Structure 1
C-alpha cells in the first residue's frame, strides 16, 4: 500500500535542510540573507559567548544523539523506520536554523583581507561547498537525506543494504564531506571573533562526530573499514600518498 504522506514528509525535510544549508552560506559570508553572523547589536562578550556556545551545543548534542544506533532503535518505536533518516535531517535543519537566528554578533575583527586574498577566500569557500555536495552524490545523496528510505516505504519495497565504497574523493580522505564543511567555516575575507568562535566550535564538533561515526563504521564494515583507516587519512589529504610509488621512493 502506498504512503504518499511519508513521501511528502521526506521531501519537505529535504527541502528544509537544503534551504538551511544554503542560508548558512550567506550567513557566514554576509551575503543575500536578512541576518548574517555579524549582524545585530553587540552585547556583553561573556553573555554572547555563553549563548553562542549553548546554540552550538544544542546543534551538536541532538545531531550526535540521533545518529547513535541505540537511540535509533528506541526512536523507531515512535517514528517509522522509513522516516527515521528524514526526521534526523529535519532536526539538523531546525537546530541549524535556531543557531543562525539566535546567534549573537561578536564583531571584533581577527583578520581582514582584500584584493587577490579576498578572491582566494571566496574561491576556497566555493570549493568547500562543491566538495560537500559532490561528496554526498559520490556515496548516496538520496539515502543520506532520507529520500531513498521514504521512497521505499511509499512503494512497500525494502531498502538496499549499505555497501562500502570509496569513489573519487574518498580515495584521498575518509570524510571529504566534513573537510568541505570545515573549509566553508573558515574561508572568509573578514574573520570576526564571532565567526571564528563559530568556525572553531563547529569544527570541534565535527571531530567529535567523526569519532563516533568511525566507531559505527568499524562495527558495520569490520576489517574492511579498519584497512581503509590504515590506508587513507581521516580528514586532511596526505600529498605523499597521492604521489606515484616511484616518485615516493626516488
Structure 2
C-alpha cells in the first residue's frame, strides 16, 4: 500500500471516529438522534435483550482482542504496521455504528429526573464526562491514540517513535481518566431505562476487565516504572494533592 493511500486511510478512519464520537453524545444523552438508548421499545424485551447483549459483547471482544500485543504482532503481517492503529480505530467505529443502528430500546423506567436544578446538574455532569474523556486523550497525544500520527510519520518517511511515559495533568491524579470520563457519561443520566441500565452494567464490567488487561501489558512494556506508578496513583478514584513529578521514560502508553 502506498504512503498516500495509508495516509488517506488513516484520515478516513479518524474522520469516521469524529462522526461516531458526535453521534454517541446524542445517542447516550437522548438528544438529536432518532434511535437513542432510551427511546420507545420496538420489539419484545427478550428479543431486545439478546440483540443488545450481542452488540455490547461484539464491541468488548473487538476492542480488547485487537488491543493485545500478541494480536498486533499477528495482525501486522496482514495490515501495514503504520496503519495498524488506524485499523483498530476503524473496527471500533464499525462496532459502534452497528450498536447505534441495531440497538433495541427496552422500556421499563428505572429512574427519571425531570425536576430542576437536578436535571441540569446531571446533564452538566454528562457533558463534563465527555470533556474529561477528550481532554485525557489529548494529554497522552490524541493523534497517536487514533492512528493519525503513525500514518503521517510514514507519509513523511520518518520512523515511528514511541511516546514517552509521562504523568501529565489528570494522569498524575488517576491512572485511567479516559475511563473515568466514560463512567461519568454512562451513569450521569436523568433517564435510566432497562436498556440503559444493561448498557451501564455491561460497559462498567468491561472497563474493570479492560483495565486489568491493559495494565498487565503496560507492566510488561514498562516494568518497574509502571509498577511504581500503579502504587502511587489510584485507578479510577482521583486523588488530589502534591506529588513528586517523575522524569519521563520511553514507553508506549495507549489504551
User: Would you call these one fold, judging by a TM-score over 0.5?
Assistant: yes
Give the distance between the partners of 1:108 and 1:81, measured in 2 at CA. Answer: 47
Question: Which sits farther off after the overlay, 107-116 or 83-92?
Answer: 107-116
Report what 1:140 is aligned to: 141
Report what 1:107 is aligned to: 107
Unaligned runs of 5+ in 2: 244-255
- TM-score, length of structure 2 as denominator length: 0.91
- TM-score, length of structure 1 as denominator length: 0.93
Give the distance between the partners of 1:86 and 1:244, measured in 2 at CA. Answer: 37
Report what 1:90 is aligned to: 90
How far off is 1:244 after superposition? Answer: 6.0
**Superposed CA offset, 1:116-162 (max 9, x none):** 11111111111100001100110110100000000011111101123
CA contact (8 A) 1:42 1:107 kept: no
Give the distance between the partners of 1:244 and 1:34, measured in 2 at CA. Answer: 47
Kindly tell me: are residues 105 and 163 of structure 1, through their superposed partners in 2, closer, same or farther at Cα, counting changes over 3 Å?
same
Report what 1:28 is aligned to: 28
Return the structure number with greater helix share.
1
CA contact (8 A) 2:40 2:107 kept: no
Report what 2:69 is aligned to: 69
Give the distance between the partners of 1:53 and 1:41, measured in 2 at CA. Answer: 16
How far off is 1:38 after superposition? Answer: 2.4
Give the distance between the partners of 1:220 and 1:67, measured in 2 at CA. Answer: 14
Q: SS where residue 66 of structure 2 aligns?
A: helix
How far off is 1:201 after superposition? Answer: 0.7
Question: Which sits farther off after the overlay, 100-109 or 77-86?
Answer: 100-109
CA contact (8 A) 1:37 1:103 kept: yes
Q: Residue 227 in 1 paired to residue 228 in 2?
A: yes
* Equivalent residue pairs, number: 242
Kindly tell me: are residues 244 and 132 of structure 1, through their superposed partners in 2, closer, same or farther at Cα, counting changes over 3 Å?
closer
Kindly tell me: are residues 41 and 244 of structure 1, through their superposed partners in 2, closer, same or farther at Cα, counting changes over 3 Å?
closer
Q: Where does 1:42-191 land on structure 2 (aligned, <5 Å)? A: 42-114=42-114, 115-191=116-192
CA contact (8 A) 2:17 2:93 kept: yes
CA contact (8 A) 2:175 2:233 kept: yes
**Superposed CA offset, 1:65-91 (max 9, x none):** 100111111100010000000000000
Kindly tell me: are residues 42 and 155 of structure 1, through their superposed partners in 2, closer, same or farther at Cα, counting changes over 3 Å?
same
Give the distance between the partners of 1:137 and 1:222, measured in 2 at CA. Answer: 24
Q: CA RMSD in A?
A: 1.5
The runs of 4+ residues in structure 1 deviating greater than 3 Å are none
Give the distance between the partners of 1:205 and 1:49, measured in 2 at CA. Answer: 17
**Superposed CA offset, 1:158-212 (max 9, x none):** 0112311001100110000111011111111111111111111111111111111
